[in-house]
């Protein structure tokens, strides 16, 4: 059970009972303190780390005596309690036996669990107020002992989560270095208490008795969370409800990087994996896994239900600390304490993300260390690339194999018997030239290659290769393909100018120039390419983008190997029926263009024909926060030979291709998207004489079924019903020109609320990004 892997850290959770037992044991003197003895034992059992409660029952009792009013207490008792509480509030301090650790060596590498009976989101103002002081006191003490990480009790009361969040934010400010992790059951926390693996994982009813009201003479008996409404939520809403609380907390803490999640996998657990994908985009630090979550397999060994297995495997992308609780409690008949950790290691080893990263040749393996790391896209037209950059891209066996195959087929299928002229437009250091020579050889056709390159430095490498390898079969031409003169026109024009979004390295503009030396019936490889988008959530990428130093950090698309992200869209039309698939095509470029209008030099007069725009409609099945757009491309090289980084199609088209990571278009402010909403994304590819740039923007909508007027009368009452809301399609006056009467055009008097119809209500929008190419443009 050694820590042979880099993904998960496995920790055990000590209980107060463990500590109490250790205190009573004979050999504790050898270790110094009971906690030191337990830490040594955990290490010897193979645990990488340990978590333990910070405070004891004594602290809980004192706090309750001061801050809560026992039922039946009289005015004198109240005043006495309030005197003690005011004394404490003015100078919060622990007594020695109210805490579990007192020495630096006891705290080393330890994660502490803050008192989980602190109700930071209690309904009662005074309970919240005094819980905040207690939390500050605990964190201040933990920080004194150099504890690096503390787990906070789960939020429990949706109505007051904003108060919980405000308190956490205050603690992050007051305690500078400590990491705070919010414990959160994947289901509604009201479920959590049913199966506690230890007494400390249980929220006991200490706070429910009532509380003293020190501000008035009439003590109020406070029932925490005393709402009388009935909880009628179904499983998905429970999952949403807990995520929604987390989202509110981290948003109100402004995505503080010292704030993380401790996902609590106490049962009950979801049986479908889909809704759990949202946690991939969140900052998950710990997974709290009680032994009671395990079921026994046929032989009595502890194993996990299928969905939980898959979920933990997925969570390996977070490099989590898996905190095992109650592993020593003997819940299962076979395997002993070590069986739980062994099982987690088994899940780690069989995690697809871990496996992909370990297998040579995969993009995941190639991208080690680059996951979720933001890189500025290349501008190979403006900047002359370095040899080392060419070297990196030439490593990709799949891309050049596809190019060779495309050239081979094009040569084979080229009509006639004569010499074929091929032109490599943008030869770089020559990888396509070499592949083209191989393709010519394989096709047994006679052919000459022109290699055009504008980078003077790479042109030296080309000269060397021509001299050493290629000889007369290749003619080198130095110059920009948009302006250079070529001795003869080509039958086949080959280029590798594509960026992560297809056209974002100006392939369309460059090939406009190169088309001057392609014969009218010639072939362009690639023959077309498309750009694709999907809405994306990732608190990591949001934080990375805004942390970038220059002001343009949230206006620039970045190249990113995605890892801790979640695509928010689903397939399906949404209620409006207008939504497309999860990942949608924006636009296409084709080469050669058909029937273009050109000037005397054979160049287009303007770049208007390379402007593009798209408006995409995405269906959002599960609530999430939009942080940006994921951009992909797909290219047809020739026939059915292509290149693709489209997540759903890349494995069929160009599996294990390494050259392109996706593009990330960030949004400045996160946009909250509810379950079953629709997102409309507008994106433009814009151009003037000197540059090309993208602008992007999104609006969100929620559809709700129209309640027929005659059925409920809801539409007639402005207070209790839903009056007609903005229609998303306001027609151009031009279409309605043949529509003669006012009533028909406006719908006056003829509400068209047929059964099963819906109305779409706008609920939010982002800023316009990169307006006027302000911060990020690509130079022509």
| Closest to a copy of itself by CB, 124 or 348 | 124
Distance CA 352, CA 358 (A): 10
Residue identified by tokens 């100018």 is 497
95 lies in the site for a copy of itself, by CB under 8 A = no
735 lies in the site for a copy of itself, by CB under 8 A = yes
Say if residues 558 and 628 touch (Cβ distance below 8 Å). Answer: no
Residues 6+ apart with CB under 8 A from 750: 743, 744
Least CB distance from residue 746 to a copy of itself, whole Å?
A: 6
Q: Which of 236, 480, 585, 656 binds a copy of itself (CB under 8 A)?
A: 236
Least CB distance from residue 523 to a copy of itself, whole Å?
A: 18
Rg, Å, the chain Cα set: 32
| Closest to a copy of itself by CB, 137 or 321 | 137
Q: Which of 148, 251, 297, 691 binds a copy of itself (CB under 8 A)?
A: 251
**Of 48-56, 308-316, 425-433, 751-759, which segment contacts a copy of itself by CB under 8 A?**
751-759
Q: Which helix (H) or strand (E) element contains residue 705? A: strand 691-705
Q: Which of 60, 128, 285, 445 binds a copy of itself (CB under 8 A)?
A: 128
399 marked as binding residue:
yes
Residues 6+ apart with CB under 8 A from 299: 334
Question: Quick one: how far is CA 336 from the chain centroid?
Answer: 37
238 lies in the site for a copy of itself, by CB under 8 A = yes
Burial 256-271 (b: 16+ CB within 10 A, else e): bebbbbbbbbbbbbbe
Q: Which of 73, 143, 193, 355 binds a copy of itself (CB under 8 A)?
A: 193
| 337 given a catalytic annotation | no
User: By three-state DSSP, how is residue 197 classified?
Assistant: coil
608 lies in the site for a copy of itself, by CB under 8 A = yes
Q: Which of 44, 71, 215, 710 binds a copy of itself (CB under 8 A)?
A: 215
**Of 3-11, 76-84, 302-310, 339-347, which segment contacts a copy of itself by CB under 8 A?**
76-84
Residues between 101 and 120 with contacts to a copy of itself, criterion CB under 8 A: 119
Task: List phi, psi (to 5°) of 550.
Answer: -80, 160
428 lies in the site for a copy of itself, by CB under 8 A = no
The tokens of 250 are what?
């981290």
Residues 6+ apart with CB under 8 A from 7: 316, 319, 320, 348, 351, 353, 354
In the shown chain, the binding pattern of residues 139 to 158 toward a copy of itself, with x for contact by CB under 8 A and - for none, equals -----------------xxx
> Which among 241, 302, 300 has a CA at the least distance from the CA of 275?
241
235 lies in the site for a copy of itself, by CB under 8 A = yes
| Closest to a copy of itself by CB, 135 or 476 | 135
Q: Which of 597, 600, 601, 710 binds a copy of itself (CB under 8 A)?
A: 597
192 lies in the site for a copy of itself, by CB under 8 A = yes
Residues between 666 and 685 with contacts to a copy of itself, criterion CB under 8 A: 669, 672, 674-677, 682, 684
Least CB distance from residue 527 to a copy of itself, whole Å?
A: 15
Beta strands 420-425 and 295-296: pairing type? unpaired
242 lies in the site for a copy of itself, by CB under 8 A = yes
Q: Mind spelling out the 3-state secondary structure of 222-239?
A: CCCCCCCCCCCCCHHHHH
771 lies in the site for a copy of itself, by CB under 8 A = yes
| 505 given a catalytic annotation | yes
Q: Which of 697, 776, 777, 778 binds a copy of itself (CB under 8 A)?
A: 697
Q: Which of 40, 356, 748, 779 binds a copy of itself (CB under 8 A)?
A: 748
Say if residues 727 and 760 touch (Cβ distance below 8 Å). Answer: yes
Least CB distance from residue 744 to a copy of itself, whole Å?
A: 9
Distance CA 207, CA 222 (A): 9
Distance CA 169, CA 181 (A): 12
Q: Which of 252, 312, 434, 439 binds a copy of itself (CB under 8 A)?
A: 252
Burial 313-335 (b: 16+ CB within 10 A, else e): bbbbbbebbbbbbbbbeebbeeb
Q: Which one is catalytic: 505, 555, 678, 759?
A: 505
In the shown chain, the binding pattern of residues 566 to 585 toward a copy of itself, with x for contact by CB under 8 A and - for none, equals ----xxxxxx----------
| Closest to a copy of itself by CB, 68 or 99 | 68
**Of 8-16, 533-541, 618-626, 651-659, which segment contacts a copy of itself by CB under 8 A?**
618-626
Question: Quick one: how far is CA 632 from the chain centroid?
Answer: 16
| Closest to a copy of itself by CB, 41 or 244 | 244
Residues between 381 and 400 with contacts to a copy of itself, criterion CB under 8 A: none
Q: Which of 16, 191, 295, 329 binds a copy of itself (CB under 8 A)?
A: 191
271 lies in the site for a copy of itself, by CB under 8 A = no
Q: Which one is catalytic: 132, 496, 555, 678?
A: 496
71 lies in the site for a copy of itself, by CB under 8 A = no
Least CB distance from residue 485 to a copy of itself, whole Å?
A: 23
758 marked as binding residue:
no
58 marked as binding residue:
no
Give me the numbers of helices (H) and strands (E) for the chain, helices first please.
22, 27
Burial 388-418 (b: 16+ CB within 10 A, else e): eebeebbebebbbebbbbbbbbbbeebeeee
> Which among 764, 582, 760, 759 has a CA at the least distance from the CA of 672?
764
Least CB distance from residue 625 to a copy of itself, whole Å?
A: 10
Q: Using CB atoms within 10 A of its CB, is residue 227 exposed (0-12), middle (13-18) or buried (19+)?
A: exposed
**Of 44-52, 348-356, 379-387, 693-701, which segment contacts a copy of itself by CB under 8 A?**
693-701
* Beta-carbon count within 10 A of 779 CB: 11
129 lies in the site for a copy of itself, by CB under 8 A = yes
163 lies in the site for a copy of itself, by CB under 8 A = yes
| Omega prior to 557 cis, within 30 of 0 | no
For residue 249, CA distances in Å to 140, 252, 256, 275, 279 come to 21, 5, 10, 20, 15
Q: Contacts with a copy of itself: how many residues (CB under 8 A)? A: 150
689 marked as binding residue:
no
Residue identified by tokens 């002001």 is 551
Distance CA 605, CA 592 (A): 16
Binding site, annotated residues for S-adenosyl-L-methionine:
390, 399-400, 453, 480-481
Q: Any idea which residues carry the catalytic annotation?
A: 496, 505
């Amino acid at each position: 059970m050694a820590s042979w892997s880099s993904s998960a850290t496995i920790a055990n959770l000590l209980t107060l009972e463990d500590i109490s037992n250790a205190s009573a044991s004979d050999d504790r003197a050898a270790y110094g303190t009971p906690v030191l003895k337990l830490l040594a034992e955990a290490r010897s059992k193979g645990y990488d780390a340990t978590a333990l409660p910070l405070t004891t029952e004594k602290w809980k009792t004192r706090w309750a005596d001061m801050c809560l009013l026992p039922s039946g207490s009289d005015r004198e008792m109240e005043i006495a309690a309030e005197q003690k509480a005011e004394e404490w509030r003015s100078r919060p301090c622990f007594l020695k036996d109210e805490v579990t650790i007192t020495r630096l060596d006891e705290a080393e590498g330890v994660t502490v669990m803050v008192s989980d009976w602190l109700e930071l989101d209690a309904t009662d103002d005074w309970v919240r107020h005094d819980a905040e002081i207690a939390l500050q006191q605990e964190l201040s003490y933990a920080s004194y002992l150099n504890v690096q990480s503390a787990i906070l009790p789960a939020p429990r009361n949706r109505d007051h989560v904003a108060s919980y969040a405000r308190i956490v934010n205050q603690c992050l400010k007051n305690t500078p270095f400590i990491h705070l992790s919010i414990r959160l059951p994947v289901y509604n926390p009201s479920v959590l208490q049913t199966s506690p693996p230890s007494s400390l994982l249980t929220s006991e009813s200490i706070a429910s008795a009532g509380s003293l009201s020190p501000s008035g003479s009439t003590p109020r008996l406070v029932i925490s969370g005393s709402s009388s409404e009935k909880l009628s939520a179904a499983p998905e809403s429970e999952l949403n409800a807990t995520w929604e609380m987390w989202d509110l907390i981290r948003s109100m803490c402004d995505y503080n990087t010292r704030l993380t999640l401790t996902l609590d996998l106490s049962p009950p657990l979801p049986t479908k994996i889909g809704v759990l994908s949202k946690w991939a985009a969140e900052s998950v630090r710990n997974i709290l896994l009680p032994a009671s979550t395990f079921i026994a397999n046929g032989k009595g060994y502890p194993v996990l239900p299928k969905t939980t297995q898959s979920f933990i495997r997925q969570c390996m992308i977070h490099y989590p600390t898996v905190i095992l609780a109650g592993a020593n409690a003997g819940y299962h008949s076979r395997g002993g304490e070590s069986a739980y950790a062994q099982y987690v290691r088994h899940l780690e080893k069989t995690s697809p993300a871990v496996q992909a990263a370990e297998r040579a040749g995969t993009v995941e393996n190639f991208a080690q260390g680059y996951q979720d790391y933001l890189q500025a896209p290349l501008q190979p037209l403006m900047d002359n690339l370095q040899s080392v950059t060419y070297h990196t891209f030439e490593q990709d066996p799949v891309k050049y194999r596809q190019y060779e195959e495309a050239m081979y087929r094009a040569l084979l299928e080229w009509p006639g018997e004569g010499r074929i002229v091929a032109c490599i437009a943008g030869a770089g250091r020559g990888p396509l030239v070499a592949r083209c020579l191989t393709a010519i050889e394989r096709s047994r056709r006679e052919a000459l290659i022109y290699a055009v390159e504008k980078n003077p430095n790479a042109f030296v490498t080309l000269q060397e290769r021509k001299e050493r390898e290629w000889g007369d079969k290749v003619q080198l031409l130095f110059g920009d393909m948009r302006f250079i003169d070529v001795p003869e026109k080509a039958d086949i024009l080959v280029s590798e100018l594509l960026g992560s979004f297809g056209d974002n390295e100006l392939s369309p503009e460059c090939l406009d120039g190169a088309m001057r030396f392609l014969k009218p019936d010639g072939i362009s490889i690639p023959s077309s390419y498309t750009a694709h988008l999907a809405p994306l959530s990732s608190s990591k990428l949001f934080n990375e983008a805004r942390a970038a130093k220059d002001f343009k950090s949230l206006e620039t698309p970045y190249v990113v190997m995605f890892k801790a992200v979640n695509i928010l869209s689903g397939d399906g039309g949404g209620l409006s029926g207008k939504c497309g698939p999860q990942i949608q095509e924006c636009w296409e470029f084709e080469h050669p263009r058909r029937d273009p209008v050109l000037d005397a030099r054979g160049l287009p007069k303007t770049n208007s024909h390379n402007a593009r725009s798209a408006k995409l409609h995405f269906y959002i099945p599960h609530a999430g926060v939009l942080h940006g757009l994921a951009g992909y491309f797909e290219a047809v090289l020739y026939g059915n030979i292509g290149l693709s980084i489209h997540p759903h199609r890349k494995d069929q088209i160009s599996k294990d291709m390494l050259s392109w990571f996706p593009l990330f278009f960030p949004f400045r402010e996160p946009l909250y998207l509810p379950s079953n909403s629709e997102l409309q994304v507008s994106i433009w590819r814009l151009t003037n004489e000197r540059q090309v740039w993208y602008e992007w923007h999104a609006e969100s909508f929620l559809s709700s079924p129209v309640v027929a007027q005659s059925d409920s009368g809801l539409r007639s009452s402005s207070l209790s019903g839903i009056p007609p809301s903005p229609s998303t399609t306001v027609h151009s006056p031009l279409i309605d020109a043949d529509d003669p009467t006012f009533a028909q055009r406006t719908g006056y008097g003829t509400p068209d609320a047929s059964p099963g119809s819906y109305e779409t209500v706008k609920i939010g929008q982002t800023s316009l990004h990169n307006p006027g190419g302000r911060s990020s443009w690509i130079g022509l």
